Amino acid sequence: MLEDMTAVVTGGSRGIGRAIVERLCSDGADVVFNYSTGEEAAADVVRTVRANGGEVRAMRLDLREPDAAERLMEDAEAHLGSVDILVNNAATSFTPAPLAETEAEVFDGVLAANTRSVFLTMRYAARRMRDGGRIVNISTLNTVRPVPGIGPYAASKGAIEQLTAVAARELGPRGITVNTVSPGATDTDLLRGTNPPGGSPSGRRHDAARPAGAAVRRGRCRRVPRGSGRRVDHRPEPAGDWRTGMTPNRRSRPSGAEVRRKIRGPDGRALLPSGRVSWLPDDFVHPVLVPLPGGDHHLRPIRETDTPLDYPAVMGSRERLWTIYGPAWGWPAATMTYEADRADLLRHEKEIAAHQSFNYALFDTAETALLGCVYIDPPERAGADGDISWWVVDELVDSTVERALDALVPQWIAADWPFERPRFIGREISWSDYLALPGIPTVP
């Protein structure tokens, strides 16, 4: 599926990086990867890949060196002819310590290896990667679940996630998607080096070492499975064209019991979108940019500042929208003012930030026009764990844009949202049938 494509993977000789290299090669890509130490481990990757008919080249480069990242990209491009896929996986180990005891040199070293190198490889890709390429940056669950003692590491990965979000917007018009992947605790050399079985390498026991270190000792830390590269390599496929600016993580899809606990609460009573509780997993990270196939339109979370575009779009299609949403929501009223719409968008913006409900606006590439919205809400009726509906302005009804949105939304929800039983209102169930369903009691 990746024949005639080329890839660069940083830190590809061990653990997750090795799994990514092997997966990309098995799917037909020609790969160049770097390693900083462990020549035999890198040689073993090369032997394994070539024994299975793949094409791979290893380069020894320490990404903490100022020019190493750019040398890797230059040499890889010279060897491969071009770069279609970039996976930034490399990370350096360090001894966990409280901020008060962390030397500036340690912080600088972690940022150089984990963040500066990513910036440089991404900058090179932004300048030289062919249109339609893929950039995937490996982050960590610790950006949403911080623990004491890992300040430099968490900061380095948090910066990567922000670089990802910005690059997704900048490179989206060229069809280049940029995403991060945040795996959970995985039994790798890096994790074991940072969390040795007997405590920290210095002999001290820091809080940061407890969760992961205990997982290693008790065998609860997942090993690197043979298929672990799939979480990365599905994004370089053409089907991943519309996913960008995202940070999915290992726990983004909860079990049915987890969803029920989120919705029902500890006393068994339902928790509805009252503005007090999120019904999503604590570590879920919502997408910030979702291109429609074709590249001329995209979805992003709506903001108060979108009122000048939202108000004319809503009021220009108000009569039709009232037939859809009026019976359920009483929206949009004929008397709705600009200020009322602005207040409504501010509420949406706050609810998105709190993960209480989501409103994604549909824009043209330059964001000169708001053309519709996708709503993702907690269920107000029994039988689902998420309610999804969407609309386009009158002039786009039955257009190629509406058909593209209709095709995209179910795929997007299935791939990147933590629902097991999403309900697509107005599509798989009519609004009248939806309103006839039994409601979920609200929390007093």
Question: Phi and psi for 288 in degrees, rounded to 5?
Answer: -110, -15
Q: Which of 184, 386, 375 minimizes the C-alpha distance to 278?
A: 386
From 153, 311, 325, 375, the catalytic residue: 153
Residue whose C-alpha is closest to residue 10's, from 36, 28, 38: 36
Taking CA atoms, 45 is separated from 13, 54, 57, 358, in Å, by 6, 11, 9, 43
Pick from 388, 301, 313, 389: which is nearest to 353 by CA?
A: 301
The candidate with the shortest Cα–Cα distance to 278, out of 357, 197, 162, is 357
Distance, in Å, from the CA atom of 77 to the CA atom of 249, rounded to the nearest integer, reads 30
Give yes or no: 35 in active site.
no
Amino acid at 292: L
Mark out the alpha helices in 230-331 (DSSP H runs).
230-233, 256-264, 307-316, 318-329
Per-residue tokens: 8: 């660069």
In whole angstroms, give the CA distance from residue 22 to residue 284: 28
307-338: burial string, b at 16+ Cβ within 10 Å, e else: bebbbebbbebbeebbebbeebeeebeeeeee
313 φ, ψ (degrees, to nearest 5): -65, -45
Cβ(59)–Cβ(85) under 8 Å?
Answer: no
Q: Alpha-carbon distance 136 to 165, whole Å? A: 12
271: nearest Cα among 413, 108, 442? 442
H helix runs in 3-97, sequence order: 15-26, 39-51, 68-80
Q: Which residues are catalytic?
A: 153
